Amino acid sequence: LTEKEALGETGLRCTVCGQRKEDRMMKEGYPAYTTSCAWLGYSDQQLKQLCTDALKSGWTKFKVKVGANLDDDIHRCRLIRQTIGPNNTLMIDANQRWDVAEAISWVTSLSEFKPLWIEEPTSPDDILGHAAISKALAPLGIGVATGEQCANRVMFKQFLQASALQFVQIDSCRLGSVNENLAVLLMAHKFQVPVCPHAGGVGLCELVQHLILFDYICVSASLSNRMCEYVDHLHEHFTSPVVIQNAHYMPPKDPGYSCEMLESSVQRHQYPEGDTWKLLMNK
C-alpha cells in the first residue's frame, strides 16, 4: 500500500457523502452479530432459548463455537439453523482447533448448515494453511475469517496477498496502536475484503466501535458482509459502555476512546487489596 493509495482510499475528502454516512450511523448504527447464544457446553434447551430471545431483540446474525466433537457440532448447528431459520446468518468458530486437512473435512461436514464463515480453523500464524482452507471451502460458499491473534500489519498483508481469508478480523488491542489498525483497514479495502472485527472480552466492544465507524465513513463506505462481533459481557465496568440498539452498535457520544473503567470496578479488582481478591483468598 503506497502513501498515495492510502490517502486516496479515505472518504474524508468528500464532506457531502461523509456527512450522509455519518447521519446513517447516528440513526441506524453499525450492524453487529452475537456470540453470546452458542458457546460450547450449553444444553439444547439453553441454546434454543437464547437464540429465540435474541431473535426477539432484533438479532439476525449468530456465531456458534465448534471443533470439540463433530457429531455434537452437527446436532447444535442443526438446532440453531432450525431456530433462526434459513435467512438469518450463521457463522462458526473453531478457535484454532484443527490442522489444515482436518479443518477442510470438518467444515465440509457442516456445510449443509450454510455458515457464512469458518473462524480460526487452524494456527493463526499459518497463512499458507488458511490459503489452502480458503481454496477448498470456496466452492461450498464458506469463507475463512481470522485475525484476532494477528499482531501486525505484515501478517494481515500476507493473509490478503495469499487470498487466505475472506473476512478480516482486526482486534483493536492485539494490533499495536490505532495506527496499526488503520493500516489494516486500508489494506483490506485495497483487496476488497470486508473487515468484521473481533470483540467481546473486557472492553473490546467499547474500543472497536470507533474503528468500525471510521471504516464505514472514511474507508470502505460499505456495510455489505460487514458486521462487528458483540458479546454481552462485563460492559458494566466501563464509564462509557457500548450502546446496542436493534442489534446495531450506536455511535458513542462520550468523549475519548471508551476505555475508561469505573473507579469502583478498578478498586474492587485490584490485587491484592480489592474485595474480589480478598473474597477469593478467604475461600
Does residue 16 interact with a second copy by CB under 8 A? no
Nearest residue (CB) to a second copy, 152 versus 222: 152
Nearest to 194 by CA among 158, 218, 223, 172: 223
The 176-195 site mask, x for binding a second copy (CB under 8 A), equals: --------------------
Cα–Cα dist 50/55, whole Å: 9
CB of residue 281 to a second copy, shortest distance in Å? 28
CB of residue 152 to a second copy, shortest distance in Å? 6
Which cell is 56 given? 426477539
Instruction: Report the SS3 class of residue 22.
Output: helix
The window from 10-18, 55-63, 121-129, 196-204 that contacts a second copy (CB under 8 A) reads 121-129
Region class of 246: left (phi > 0), else alpha (psi between -120 and 50), else beta = left
Cα–Cα dist 171/211, whole Å: 10
Query: How many of the other CB atoms lie within 10 Å of CB of 111?
Result: 14
Does residue 1 interact with a second copy by CB under 8 A? no
**How many residues in the shown chain lie near a second copy by CB under 8 A?**
13
Nearest residue (CB) to a second copy, 124 versus 200: 124
283 is annotated as an active-site residue:
no
Nearest residue (CB) to a second copy, 21 versus 153: 153
65 is annotated as an active-site residue:
yes
Cα–Cα dist 122/120, whole Å: 5
The 66-105 site mask, x for binding a second copy (CB under 8 A), equals: ----------------------------------------
Query: In the chain, which ranges are continuous DSSP H helix?
Result: 3-9, 15-28, 44-56, 70-84, 100-109, 127-137, 153-161, 177-190, 204-214, 263-269, 275-282
Nearest residue (CB) to a second copy, 129 versus 197: 129
Site for a second copy in 129-168 (CB under 8 A): 129, 152, 154-155, 157-158, 161-162
CB of residue 99 to a second copy, shortest distance in Å? 10
CB 73 within 8 A of CB 67: yes
Cα–Cα dist 48/76, whole Å: 10
According to the 3-state scheme, what is the secondary structure of 65-95? Answer: ECCCCHHHHHHHHHHHHHHHCCCCEEEEECC
In the list 84, 94, 127, 213, the residue contacting a second copy (rule: CB under 8 A) is 127
Cα–Cα dist 180/74, whole Å: 38
In the list 14, 128, 138, 280, the residue contacting a second copy (rule: CB under 8 A) is 128
List 65, 130, 189, 248, catalytic entry: 65
CB of residue 124 to a second copy, shortest distance in Å? 9
Does residue 125 interact with a second copy by CB under 8 A? yes
Residue environment code for 187-196, b if the CB has 16+ CB neighbours within 10 A, otherwise e: bbbbeebbbb
Residues in contact with a second copy by CB under 8 A are: 123, 125-129, 152, 154-155, 157-158, 161-162
Among all residues, which ones are annotated catalytic?
A: 65, 198
